[in-house]
Chain A
Amino acid sequence: MEEKKCELLRKEKIGHHIHKLEVKMDDAVLSKDCGKIRTIKWEGHVFEHPILYVRISKRRKKYYLFLDESKSECSLLRDRFPCSNFYLQEDEEYVPAYVPRNNDQKVISFIDEQSLFDTLPVIDLLLSKNIEQQIYAAGSLSDNKIKQYLNRQLQENVTYMTSFTSTHISSILSGQFIGTSLSITGTWPVVQELKKLAVSQGFTEEEIQCKGVGPKQKKVFCVKCYSINELKEDMNCPDCHADLDVSDHFSRRLEAYLGYIEIE
């Protein structure tokens, strides 16, 4: 992947460790609306450092970069970066927390402290597309500075909750109209639980985007007693004690793999 030159226009500290940079690409533009930078180079030094970007003007080649300095091991990067000109190399593998659909009218995002950083470029992307957004953040966001930033960006459209309870989330989801999509980020167990609630309220796969972190527990549907349990090695159904042969048939409705009776 080629290195692309850019110029720093503005820099703002939006969290205790998070910087937001406005840059203008020199010649070559970045490939996506919202993506990730793998390495940056300036004054001959190359640093591997995760930076998220979002395009704010195609015509003027302007982007916002989000940089979490706590993730940097290099003091040089922390202390001196950035200077006026530097080079960016993209991470092509990165999947953004949310990719807007055609005709999205509104996006509701469920986030936690860990997934907040991934959400930052998406907020600007949705703002630039004039798509209404509502964010629900779980857990205590310890960083007051970033809270102030979110409040500034989203006004009253951000709600902080100690945790996501199913009754509260269901009541939020049930009042939504067609044209509303969901962005669900966080740890996999929470993401899977929220997705289940969304599906039960009538949201379809097309209207839900999930991005989880950490281990993802796989589940198995027992064909004998119809119970759903966590996948283990040498799967034996905890409810009916049948030995199960776990297939790769996956039910999106049940979020589980089909477990057949094992035949000796």
Chain B
Amino acid sequence: MTAQPLKVMVKDIKRESPFVKSFTLIPAGSKPLPGFSGGSHITTYLRHNDQTMERHYSLTNTPGRPGYYKIAVKREENSKGGSIYFHESVQVGDQLDISYPKNNFLLSFQGSRHIFIAAGIGITPFMAMMKELKKQDKSFELHYAAKSKEACAFYNTLLSHFKKETHFYFSKENNRMNPELMKNQPIGTHVYFCGPEAMIKEYANTAASYGYPEANIHFELFSAPDTGPKHAFQVYLKRSNMWLEVPEGESLLDTLLAHEIDVPYSCKIGGCGSCQQFVSKGEIDHRDLFLTETEKRSTDVMMTCVSRANSPSIELDI
């Protein structure tokens, strides 16, 4: 169910900060790259030691049909292979397989004002979103927390393009970003967060307490939030008449894919809704961020990438 990957070539590599590098990707063949909107990301498929690592990166260049993609990768101390590979192995001229751009972090077309709140490498989706809004002459501001000026990716770019809109917070200078910045904002303000899970939770809760409607609060997580122990359970596939065991610690989606059951998926962190399946029997343990609380109470669908069973077994309509 996954589309053929796009073949791209690394055209340029630029150091944005001691730990962040930007990669410019152009088509490897003659076909132009598809267009994208602000907030989009691509999945890169990195082949390393006979394994394919899937990594998601936000596109940072100006949205539309620019003909190339730019991503920024932070070298993670606890890298599971992806960021180290980009920093140490990828060279100009290398070919990569990537997905079509996907967007789970859209700008609201209704919003009359947009506030972007980024921590560290969480800046990346906002680079494209701000360029899109600037083109449309729309009102926005950026609040960006980093350790220091030196460790702050895109510092100079932001100063030259978005000086008026950008507010920096450097913790080394004891200047901490505070969720109170969202208080007393005009009606029609939308807030967007990108950063570590704890930061997103804090800002989302504070925004809700100030009265921001659910639809005005947007965020993107880098990885699936920790939603507790992943116990084993059984799954019965009704139409295939097949029983499968989802082992402890593994997701239902991965179990299905491991058994070569062709099911759709995309983000794998419970944020996009692609891997939704109908549940005909059993109790769902919803752990995604896609369905609203009301939907979770009333629905008979589950996101197989993160959600599990609350009963010993569950029956899917596949």
Which residues on A are within 8 Å of B, measured CB to CB? 101-105, 173-181, 199, 201-207
Report yes or no: A202 in contact with B111, Cβ–Cβ below 8 A: yes
List the 10 shortest-distance A-B pairs measured between CB atoms, nearest first: A202-B188, A179-B211, A206-B213, A202-B112, A103-B211, A176-B187, A202-B187, A204-B213, A178-B185, A105-B211
For the side of the interface on B, what is the size category?
20 to 34
User: CA A205 – CA B209 in complex, angstroms?
Assistant: 18
Cβ proximity bits B178-213 to A, threshold 8 Å, 1 near / 0 not: 000010111111000000000000000000111111
B94 at the interface (CB under 8 A from A): no
B184 and A177 form a contact (CB under 8 A): yes
- The residue that A178 contacts in the complex, of B186, B214, B215, with Cβ under 8 A, is B186
Contacts of B215 in A (CB 8 A): 204-206
Are B216 and A178 in contact (CB-based, < 8 A)? yes
**CB-contacts of B153-184 with A (<8 A):** 182, 184
Across-interface contacts of B184 in A (CB, < 8 A): 177-178
Q: Compute how far the CA of A177 lies from the CA of B215 in the bound complex, rounded to whole angstroms.
A: 16
Nearest CB on A from B178, distance (A): 16
Name the B residues within 8 Å of A103 (CB-CB): 208-211
Supplied contacts A177-B187, A202-B186, A206-B215, 8 more A-B pairs, CB within 8 Å: A102-B208, A175-B186, A176-B187, A178-B187, A179-B212, A181-B211, A201-B188, A202-B187
Closest chain B residue to A179, Cβ basis: B211
**From A104, A178, A181, A203, residue with most partner B Cβ within 10 Å:** A178
Q: Is B2 an interface residue (CB 8 A)?
A: no
CA distance A176 to B187 in the complex (A): 6
| Cross-chain contact of A203 among B113, B182, B187, B209 (Cβ < 8 A) | B187
- Could you tell me the distance between the alpha carbons of A231 and B63 in the complex, rounded to whole angstroms? 40
* B210 pairs with A178, CB closer than 8 A: yes
Partner of A180, one of B112, B113, B182, B211: B211
| A199–B187 CA distance with the chains assembled, in angstroms | 10
Partner of A202, one of B110, B182, B208, B209: B110
Interface of chain A, main secondary structure: loop
In the complex, what residues of B have CB within 8 A of residue A101's CB?
A: 211
Taking CB atoms, residues of chain B closer than 8 Å to A175 are: 186
Please, which residues of chain A bring their CB within 8 A of the CB of B211?
Answer: 101, 103-105, 178-181
Shortest beta-carbon distance from A208 to chain B in Å = 10
CA of A176 to CA of B185, assembled, Å: 8
Task: Establish whether residues B185 and A204, one from each chain, have CB atoms under 8 Å apart when the complex forms.
Answer: no
Return the chain B residue nearest A102 by Cβ.
B208
Would you give the shortest CB distance from A169 to chain B, in whole angstroms?
13
B216 near A204 (CB under 8 angstroms)? Answer: yes
The CA of A178 and the CA of B191, in the complex, are separated in Å by 11
* Interface flags, B215-242, vs A, CB<8A=1, else 0: 1100000000000000000000000000
- The answer to whether B188 touches A179 (Cβ under 8 A) is no
Enumerate chain A residues within 8 angstroms of B216, measured Cβ to Cβ.
Answer: 178, 204
Of the candidates A102, A104, A180, A205, the one whose C-beta lies within 8 Å of that of B187 is A180
Q: Which of B110, B182, B186, B210 contacts A105 (CB 8 A)?
A: B210
11 contacts between A and B (CB under 8 A): A103-B211, A174-B186, A176-B186, A177-B185, A178-B212, A180-B187, A181-B211, A201-B112, A202-B111, A205-B215, A207-B213
Q: Nearest B residue to A176 by beta-carbon distance?
A: B187
Which of A174, A179, A181 interacts with B210 by CB under 8 Å?
A179
**A102–B211 alpha-carbon span in the complex (Å):** 7
Whether A177 contacts B186 by the Cβ 8 Å rule is: yes
Least CB distance from A179 to B in Å reads 3
Least Cβ–Cβ distance between B94 and chain A, in angstroms: 45
Shortest CB-to-CB span from B205 to chain A, Å, is: 11
Residues in A whose Cβ lies below 8 Å from that of B214: 206
Question: Complex Cα distance A186/B166, Å?
Answer: 44
Least CB separation from B214: chain A residue: A206
The CB with the most chain A CB atoms within 10 A, among B110, B213, B214, is that of: B213
Closest B residue by C-beta to A203: B187
User: Please, how many angstroms separate the alpha-carbon atoms of A176 and B113 in the complex?
Assistant: 13
